Every structure is written in structure tokens, then in C-alpha cells.
Amino acid sequence: MKAVLLAAGKGERLEPITHTRPKPFVPILDYPLILRNIEILRRYTRDILIVIDSKHKEYYKVLDNVTLVEQLEGHGTAAALKAVEKHIGKDDEFLVIYADLAFEESAIKNLLNVKGNAILATESQNPKNYGVIIRDSESNLVKIVEKPENPPSNLINAGIYKFTNDIFSYISKIKVSSRGELELTDAVNLIGSKVKVVQYNGFWMDIGRPWDLIEANKFFLDREIDRNLGSIEENVKIKGKAIIEEGAVIKSGTYIEGPVYIGKNATIGPNAYIRPYTVIGSNVKIGAFNEIKESVIMENSKIPHLSYVGDSIICEDVNFGAGTITANLRFDEKEVKVRIRNEIVSSGRKKLGAIVGAHVRTGINVSILPGVKIGAYAWIYPGSIVDRDVEKGEKFIP
Ligand code: TTP
């Protein structure tokens, strides 16, 4: 059975992380999400097709033994699936998976047990934000209702399907939606009761907004087994679980509270404080007198002196000037809000720091307020108080 990963989205809601990588390449414990998902799929199939945006071709060249198909026409998940039509045989059944999902193997296994068309459904605490699934007493699909104001249930479309070749004839019948996309769910609704709803209760997350990446890393960190392949100097205290990869060096005076992940060849300390759910990528340097908490720091970034980074995402190749501080809690302790596209949305987190794009440089004594996004390649001049989002490549001068 073939598996099709839909990966040609824009990833706008995930900016600035997607300024420098396609959404499926976000790191989970320093390892691209798409590689993790391909490893799961390989247990069931050798035949993996990935629908990509042509401007991301270079990134996908690192993947072995997959067929890359460009989405050249139309926009939306159905337009993406249509791009693979000529690769699918008349009698084939095949899996379709949105490439920005983090899930466990049982999601795929459950779906394969069903014959014919099937959709995976999972429970969500925020069904309003998703396609809500209505099914009959025999678990046949009645309807998927997109983002309903009053959700009829908390069962949502998990973005993982099994289809027969018929799906393409249903796609040819649907029209562009009000948001200008050809939606796969519209085609699935046309199939209707011939789609089995398969409920899945394992871990599932759609990595759509930046803070989802912190949560997904937390989940996988909890499941990882303690290991230390790095080198630890004297007078380092490690409490709880720490995964320390090859070549990493933890210098004297550093205090680590697990669970934490420290990637290959990273250097921590001397005298650094690394708090729970910190995920540090390969070649990262965290120098003296820095405190890092529940944050994802991507490869090659440098936080050399006197910084506090809490509940934040720092993308690759960032350099923080001494005394760069992220604030992660509002005075009124309300949920931190973030601008996503042109809308201010609540992150649902009381604690959220900064989302800093790749190659950003900050000068000394920079303060970044909660929920602020800094675009890739921006420069933040010394002494700045960054109280608004900063554009890609912008020079922020106080
Ligand atoms: P979405 O997350 O709905 O869209 P997106 O990836 O464009 O992100 P954003 O809304 O933040 O800009 O897409 C769901 C999945 O479908 C995702 O894995 C990407 C894929 N997709 C395509 O392959 N082609 C498309 O044209 C669209 C819209 C999505």
C-alpha cells in the first residue's frame, strides 16, 4: 500500500520558524518531524510519495527512497492529493497523511485494519479549531463540519486517511472553498457514509502554531530513555532525566533539571542552569550564567552570556548578545497572545516567551516581551525592548 504525505502547505501560521524551513522539517528532539513520520510509515510500506511545493525542492533532496511530486496546480489539501493521481493504480488503496502531524504508530495501524475508505478521528479539547466529525452508530461518517461555533462533539478529523482510487472522482466534483482552497474534507463529505470513522486515542498533534512545537517536543522527551553519550565535567549536577548526545560537553557548575535533551556537540556552561523540558539542538552553545526553561533551541545557535530564555523557540544559527532576556509571563498573568497571520490569538499558555527566527542577532541588553515573534535574519540593536513582532530581515532600533 502506498502512503502519501501532503507537505506543500505554506506554513504561514508557523512563521517565523517556516522562514527558513518547510513545516514538516520542524525539529522534534533535534530530528526533523518528517523523518520521524517516514520511519513510522516504512514499517508498513516502501512506497512513500510526498507532495511538495517546488520552492522547497532542495530541502527534500536529503530524503532517500521517496517519490517527490510537486503541487503545481491549485491550492488546498485536495489540490495536493490530486497531484499524485497518476501515481495511484485503479485498484490501489492508499494512506494520506498531512505532513505537519506528530502522532504514534498506532494511528496508522488502526486505520489499516479497515477495508475501503476510512478517516482517523481523535478527541480534542478545542474542537472549534478543527473539522468536527459526526458519525452514525456504526461508525460511518455522517459529515465533517469545519470549525463549528458549537461543536456537536469533541471528535475531530486527525488528517490521516485511507482512500480507494475513487477519491479522485470526488475531488473532481468539489469547488474551491470560501478560503480559496480545494479542501479534501469536501471530497470526503461527498463520499459520506462509505467512509469508516476510526477513533484513535494515542498522542496526536497538528504542529500549526509555534507553541505546538514546544508541546510536541515535551511529549517525545517524556518518552525518551535516559542516556549520556557526552562528556560531563566535575561539579555538574543532573537531576532527573537527561538525554545527552555524542560530543556534547557539560561544563563545571552547570545545574540540570530533567527532562532535558542536549544535542550532538552542544556545549553547556560553565555555570548554566537548564530547567525541565529544554531541548537543545546540535552544536548549540549555552555559555556562562544562562537560565533556559521549557524551550526549543535549534542547531548552531549561541546564547553565550547572561541570558534568560523561558518557554521560547529559538531557531537555528541565532546569536544572542549578553543580557538578552525573554519575558514569559504577563503582569496580569493572562494567557499570552500571539499575532498569527493578521489576527491576535490566545496561545492558551500563561507562560510563553519569544519565537525567534533563524539567523537573528541581538545586541547586548535586549528584552523581548511575551509572545513576540522575530523574523529570520532580523537584527535587534543593543538596549532594545522588543514589544512588537519584528519582520524578516528588519533592523529593530530602539
Ligand atoms: P494546513 O496546515 O491547513 O495549511 P498550511 O500547511 O498551508 O499552513 P498555514 O495554514 O499555516 O499556511 O495544511 C494541512 C496539510 O496539508 C499540511 O501538511 C500541508 C498540506 N497542504 C498541501 O500539501 N497543499 C496545500 O495547498 C495546503 C493548503 C496544505
Q: What is the DSSP string of 310-377?
A: ES-EE-TT-BPPTT-EE--B-TT-PPPEEEETTEEEE-S-SB---EE-TT-EE-SS-EE-TT-EE-TT
The answer to whether the CB of 96 is under 6 A from ligand 1 is no
Amino acid at 166: D
Q: How far does the centroid of ligand 1 lie from the alpha carbon of residue 161, in Å?
A: 15
Counting ligand 1 atoms within 8 A of each CB, the residue from 4, 5, 6 with the most, and so the one to mutate, is 6
| pLDDT tens by residue, 309-354 | 999 999 999 999 999 999 999 999 999 999 999 999 999 999 999 9
Q: How far does the centroid of ligand 1 lie from the alpha carbon of residue 86, in Å?
A: 21
Measured at the CA of 209, the angle between CA 366 and CA 390, to 5 degrees, comes to 30
Q: How far does the centroid of ligand 1 lie from the alpha carbon of residue 115, in Å?
A: 27
Quick check: 378 and 396 in contact, CB under 8 A?
A: yes
> How many C-beta atoms lie closer than 10 Å to residue 57's C-beta?
11
The answer to whether the CB of 368 is under 6 A from ligand 1 is no
CA separation for the pair 317, 189 (Å, rounded): 44
CA dihedral 363, 367, 371, 374 (to 10 degrees): -10
Counting ligand 1 atoms within 8 A of each CB, the residue from 10, 26, 103, 212 with the most, and so the one to mutate, is 10
Give CA separation, 118 vs 182, 192, 243, in Å: 20, 10, 38
Residue nearest to atom 21 of ligand 1 (CA): 9
Pairing state between β 141-146 and 131-135: antiparallel
Instruction: Please indicate whether the domains covering 2-208 and 213-396 agree at the CATH topology level.
Output: no
Helices (H), the chain: 33-42, 57-60, 77-82, 106-112, 167-171, 184-191, 210-223
Q: How far does the centroid of ligand 1 lie from the alpha carbon of residue 7, in Å?
A: 7
Residue nearest to atom 14 of ligand 1 (CA): 98
Which ligand 1 atom lies nearest to the CA of residue 99?
Answer: 18
Q: How far does the centroid of ligand 1 lie from the alpha carbon of residue 113, in Å?
A: 27
| pLDDT tens for the chain, residues 1 to 398 | 999 999 999 999 999 999 999 999 999 999 999 999 999 999 999 999 999 999 999 999 999 999 999 999 999 999 999 999 999 999 999 999 999 999 999 999 989 989 999 999 999 999 999 999 999 999 999 999 999 999 999 999 999 999 999 999 999 999 999 989 999 999 999 999 999 999 999 999 999 999 999 999 999 999 999 999 999 999 999 999 999 999 999 999 999 999 999 999 999 999 999 999 999 999 999 999 999 999 999 999 999 999 999 999 999 999 999 999 999 999 999 999 999 999 999 999 999 999 999 999 999 999 999 999 999 999 999 999 999 999 999 999 99
Pairing state between β 260-262 and 242-244: parallel
- The DSSP symbol for 266 reads -
* pLDDT of res. 139: 96
Quick check: 321 and 307 in contact, CB under 8 A?
A: no
Reference 309, options 248, 268, 252; nearest CA is 268
Output the nine-digit C-alpha cell for 146: 469545519
The answer to whether the CB of 51 is under 6 A from ligand 1 is yes
Measured at the CA of 113, the angle between CA 108 and CA 119, to 5 degrees, comes to 60
Quick check: 262 and 281 in contact, CB under 8 A?
A: no
- Give the CATH number of domain 213-396; options: 3.40.30.10, 3.40.50.620, 3.40.50.300, 2.160.10.10: 2.160.10.10
pTM for the model stands at: 0.96
Q: Is the ipTM of this complex over 0.90?
A: yes
Residue nearest to atom 5 of ligand 1 (CA): 9
The answer to whether the CB of 145 is under 6 A from ligand 1 is no
Which ligand 1 atom lies nearest to the CA of residue 5?
Answer: 18
Give CA separation, 349 vs 84, 179, 257, 259, 311, in Å: 39, 28, 21, 20, 9
Classify domain 2-208 at the CATH topology level.
Answer: Spore Coat Polysaccharide Biosynthesis Protein SpsA; Chain A (3.90.550)
Which ligand 1 atom lies nearest to the CA of residue 79?
Answer: 26
The answer to whether the CB of 10 is under 6 A from ligand 1 is yes
The count of residues in the chain is 398
For the chain, the domains span: 2-208, 213-396
The answer to whether the CB of 99 is under 6 A from ligand 1 is yes
Quick check: 3 and 105 in contact, CB under 8 A?
A: no
Output the nine-digit C-alpha cell for 382: 543593543
Q: How far does the centroid of ligand 1 lie from the alpha carbon of residue 46, in Å?
A: 24
Count of CA atoms in the C-beta half-sphere (13 A) of 312: 29
| pLDDT tens by residue, 287-302 | 999 999 999 999 999 9
Counting ligand 1 atoms within 8 A of each CB, the residue from 70, 98, 181 with the most, and so the one to mutate, is 98
The burial class, CB within 10 Å (0-12 / 13-18 / 19+), for 123 is middle
Counting ligand 1 atoms within 8 A of each CB, the residue from 4, 23, 213 with the most, and so the one to mutate, is 23
The answer to whether the CB of 158 is under 6 A from ligand 1 is no
The answer to whether the CB of 28 is under 6 A from ligand 1 is no
Residue nearest to atom 3 of ligand 1 (CA): 9
